[in-house]
Structures are given as structure tokens and as C-alpha cells.
């Protein structure tokens, strides 16, 4: 039987941790607030007055009676950043699923209507017939305008509303979702979790998968960009494809991020000389000294260079380090990027841990840029695919890539 690699979200409960006092929770919250204040890199872009929010949450900490209630307050405070790249390293059963890692629907507001932009392939939403272009009317029988309120915090900008909408659609870890959508034939209820809570147990047949389309090779990298064991597996698959005229590298199932060692290992197989591939800016040093610190990172050749044409497939589940890989391929002029907008996760994250409850959290501390100066989160593919045109059972992004490479061979 083929072994399945699984990403399973562990639900952490109160019983697994020692008791923490109210005074300790207050100390932890102060650490949490100050760490974000001193290190979060996107306050200017988001126009967030972090200082004004502190007393609102300090009052709530006085009511904390359990670890779970403390976690829920921290989650609400984190929502103030409306940043899918910032999160706690713990959750309760009723915490929202992580976006994009543990969700199957990407949506945003257009002309004040909550619209489905894309549906994750192979997951519950796609299986029950949810498609791009449908309008969200209600979530669990609550009108969408009200359903997003628990995640909206104190900001009502369009990006904050989009953030809240995605969390509301993601659902929590124990309640099956009912999503009411406006379709071409009228209102219809969809139940993406009807076959179980699949998003808590996402499985892959392998770290790296491969296929061929005549003289075009296809390599699908699954959600293991954080694991150095992926490197030899990628090398093995690529080495078997070196004679292919062109390659498609599919990064559409890499939502959880990873490390730059894996990223540079992949990139290094497609260049014959060193290249700049990504620019960084460290916010904390600029905040403390008033002097901007920035640098450009280099990737070096590694192993046998694949020199044929390359297409990268990307979508809203191409997140964090895979966004970095994507903009690097583009910046080095080694690939054509085809797909939708990416996850648009802000910068590079750093992990911190509270001194008493030992709750970890991640926040974006470095701004990241394409080497042409475009913020990574604003990058758009070379060829954008309109997912509302995709028919059932079709993979329109892959089809577009194959047709593009066929035209290039003529």
C-alpha cells in the first residue's frame, strides 16, 4: 500500500498545559503586544493604530479564566492586523482554520458583493460544486455581512473585510459548514464538509509527484517546502525530466510556507550562474534607529542545470516561501508564471513565544520584494487565468500552461 504523507492539525486543549494565573496572562499579553509593536513590518501599509487598541484588550485579559479564553482574546487581537501571515501556534476547537493552509475557498469583495475567486482542487468545496464566480449570501444561515463581524475587529477597509470573509468561509475545526451561494440558477446551499473534516487531514501521495505531456514534463511540489527531505526527492524527479523540452512546475498546493534552503535548492537547478532573487527589508532596525536596512539575497547554481523552458503554476494556495520561489523564477527570467493571484502573504515571518503560557505566535517582521522592487504580496502572474471560466473536472490553469508551451514550440 502506498504510504500517504499527512498534514494533520492538532487541536490543543487546556488539559495539556499547566495552570496559568491572571497575572501571568497579563504579562504574556504585554509581551505579545510589545513584540508586535516593535517588530511587525506592515503597520504603515495598513494604517493600524496599534497603541490605541492595547487598552481594549487589556480590559478583556482581566476576565480570563482559562487558556482557551486567553487564546480567543489573542486571536481577536491578531485579527486587528488582518494579515493571513500572522497567527498563533495554538488553537481551540472553535478557532478559525488557518488561511490559506487549511481552507478550500478563496473569496473577496467586489462591488460590495462577496464573490468566490477560486476553489482549492480536490477539497470539499470543489467536490460539492462550489465554483469561482458564485456570490456568498450566507454562512451557516447567517447573512455574510454579519458572519464576517467576529473577524473584522476595529477596521473596515476592503482588505480587512476580505480577510474576515476568508476566515468566516474557512470555518472552525469541529462544525460542518453550510454556505449559501447565488448561482446561475438561483440561491443554493452547499455543504463542503459533508464527507468529514477533510481540511484537518490533508493527505498527499508523495512530497513530489510527476507526469508527462509528450515532450513536456510536469512536476508537482506538495506542501512540504519546510522539509529538507524534499530536496533529494525533487532532484530525483527533475533528473528524470532533464531531456524534456519544457517543464511545468506546479506550486498550487504549497500553502504552508517553508524554508529558504529548500527554495534555493529548487531554484539552483535552473540557473548556470548566480542571480539575485529576492530583496529584504528589516522593519525593527529601521523603527529603532531610523535607518533602513535592506539586502538582496543570492541563489547559486546546484547540480545539473535544466536549461529548457519552464512554466510555474501558481494560485491562492501558493503561499509564503512558494511565493518567493515564484517571484524568483520570474525575476531571474527563468520561467513564465501562469495562474491566479497568489496567497499574497506579507513578508517573512518570525516566531516568538510568551514567557508563561508558552503560546507561540508568528508575525511578519521583514518586508520582501521581487528584485524589480514590487512588494512580493502584490506580484501577479505573467498570464492570469480567470477561474470563473473553468468547467467542472477541468484544470484550466494546467490546460493554459500546456497550450502556452505548445504554442512556444511552433
**Confidence category of residue 153, pLDDT binned at 50, 70, 90:** confident
What pLDDT is recorded for position 3? 36
Q: For the residues 279-290, what does the mean pLDDT come to?
A: 93
Element (H, E) at 28: helix 22-39
Q: Which domains does the chain have, with CATH numbers?
A: 18-97+347-365 (3.30.750.44), 105-197 (2.30.42.10), 202-344+380-408 (3.90.226.10)
Element (H, E) at 331: helix 321-331
Question: Could you tell me the CA-to-CA distances from 30 to 27, 34, 57, 154 in Å, in that order?
Answer: 5, 6, 10, 20
**What is the Cα–Cα distance from 373 to 364, expressed in whole angstroms?**
18
Q: For the residues 70-76, what does the mean pLDDT come to?
A: 97
CA 305, chain centre distance (Å)? 29
Q: For the residues 306-334, what does the mean pLDDT come to?
A: 98
**Confidence category of residue 63, pLDDT binned at 50, 70, 90:** confident
Q: Which of 2-16, 153-167, 172-186, 219-233 has the lowest mean pLDDT?
A: 2-16
What pLDDT is recorded for position 9? 40
What pLDDT is recorded for position 13? 40
What pLDDT is recorded for position 410? 66
Q: For the residues 87-105, what does the mean pLDDT come to?
A: 97
Could you report the per-residue pLDDT of 337-376, keeping only the tens digit for each?
999 999 999 999 999 999 999 999 999 999 999 999 999 9
What pLDDT is recorded for position 234? 98
CA-atom Rg of the chain in angstroms: 22
What pLDDT is recorded for position 409? 78
- Is the pLDDT at 133 greater than 50, yes or no? yes
What pLDDT is recorded for position 268? 98
Check: CB of residue 348 under 8 Å from CB of residue 280: yes
**Confidence category of residue 6, pLDDT binned at 50, 70, 90:** very low
Which residues share a beta bridge with 179? 139, 190
Check: CB of residue 140 under 8 Å from CB of residue 191: no
What pLDDT is recorded for position 12? 42
Return mean pLDDT, the chain. Answer: 94
**What is the Cα–Cα distance from 71 to 92, expressed in whole angstroms?**
8
pTM of the model: 0.93
Could you report the per-residue pLDDT of 213-240, keeping only the tens digit for each?
999 999 999 999 999 999 999 999 999 9
- Please enumerate in sequence order all residues whose Cβ is within 8 A of that of 49, keeping only pairs 6 or more positions apart, or say none: none
Q: For the residues 383-389, what does the mean pLDDT come to?
A: 97
Residue among 368, 259, 374 nearest 321 (CA): 259
Could you report the per-residue pLDDT of 240-274, keeping only the tens digit for each?
999 999 999 999 999 999 999 999 999 999 999 99
Question: Could you tell me the CA-to-CA distances from 401 to 267, 311, 367 in Å, in that order?
Answer: 20, 7, 30
What pLDDT is recorded for position 18? 58
What pLDDT is recorded for position 177? 98
E-strand stretches of 46-166: 87-88, 105-110, 113-119, 135-139, 142-143
Amino acid at each position: 500500500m502506498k504510504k500517504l504523507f499527512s498534514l494533520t492539525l492538532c487541536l490543543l486543549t487546556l488539559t495539556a498545559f499547566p495552570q496559568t494565573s491572571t497575572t501571568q496572562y497579563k504579562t504574556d499579553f504585554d509581551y505579545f503586544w510589545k513584540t508586535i509593536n516593535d517588530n511587525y513590518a506592515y503597520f504603515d501599509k495598513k494604517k493600524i493604530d496599534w497603541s490605541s487598541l492595547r487598552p481594549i484588550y487589556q480590559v478583556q485579559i482581566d476576565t480570563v479564566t482559562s487558556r482557551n479564553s486567553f487564546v480567543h482574546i489573542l486571536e481577536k487581537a491578531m485579527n486587528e492586523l488582518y494579515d493571513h501571515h500572522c497567527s498563533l501556534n495554538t488553537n481551540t476547537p472553535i478557532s478559525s482554520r488557518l488561511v490559506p493552509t487549511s481552507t478550500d475557498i478563496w473569496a473577496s469583495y467586489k462591488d460590495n458583493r462577496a464573490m468566490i475567486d477560486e476553489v482549492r482542487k480536490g477539497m470539499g468545496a470543489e467536490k460539492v460544486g462550489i465554483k469561482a464566480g458564485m456570490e456568498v449570501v450566507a454562512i451557516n444561515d447567517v447573512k455574510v455581512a454579519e458572519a464576517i463581524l467576529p473577524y473584522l475587529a476595529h477596521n473596515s477597509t476592503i482588505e480587512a473585510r476580505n480577510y474576515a470573509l476568508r476566515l468566516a468561509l474557512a470555518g472552525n475545526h469541529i462544525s460542518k459548514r453550510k454556505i449559501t451561494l447565488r448561482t446561475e440558477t438561483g440561491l443554493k446551499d452547499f455543504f463542503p464538509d459533508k464527507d468529514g473534516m477533510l481540511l484537518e487531514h490533508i493527505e498527499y501521495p508523495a512530497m513530489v509527484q510527476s507526469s508527462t505531456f509528450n515532450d513536456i514534463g510536469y512536476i508537482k511540489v506538495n506542501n512540504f517546502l519546510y522539509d529538507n527531505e524534499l530536496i533529494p526527492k525533487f532532484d530525483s524527479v527533475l533528473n528524470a525530466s532533464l531531456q524534456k523540452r519544457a517543464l511545468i512546475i506546479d506550486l498550487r498546493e504549497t500553502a504552508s510556507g517553508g524554508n529558504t534552503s529548500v527554495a534555493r535548492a529548487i531554484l539552483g537547478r535552473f540557473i548556470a550562474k548566480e542571480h539575485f532573487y529576492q530583496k529584504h527589508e528589516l522593519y525593527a532596525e529601521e523603527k529603532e534607529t531610523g535607518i533602513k536596512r535592506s539586502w538582496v539575497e543570492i541563489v547559486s547554481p546546484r547540480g545539473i542545470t535544466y536549461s529548457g523552458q519552464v512554466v510555474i503554476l501558481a494560485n491562492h494556495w501558493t503561499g509564503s516561501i512558494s511565493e518567493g520561489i515564484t517571484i524568483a523564477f520570474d525575476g531571474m527570467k527563468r520561467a513564465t508564471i501562469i495562474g491566479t493571484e497568489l496567497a499574497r502573504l506579507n513578508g517573512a515571518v518570525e516566531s516568538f513565544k510568551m514567557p508563561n503560557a508558552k503560546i507561540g505566535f508568528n508575525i511578519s517582521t521583514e518586508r520582501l520584494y521581487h528584485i524589480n522592487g514590487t512588494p512580493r504580496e502584490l506580484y501577479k502572474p505573467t498570464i492570469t487565468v480567470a477561474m470563473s471560466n473553468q468547467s467542472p473536472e477541468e484544470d484550466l490553469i494546467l490546460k493554459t500552461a500546456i497550450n502556452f508551451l505548445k504554442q512556444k514550440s511552433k
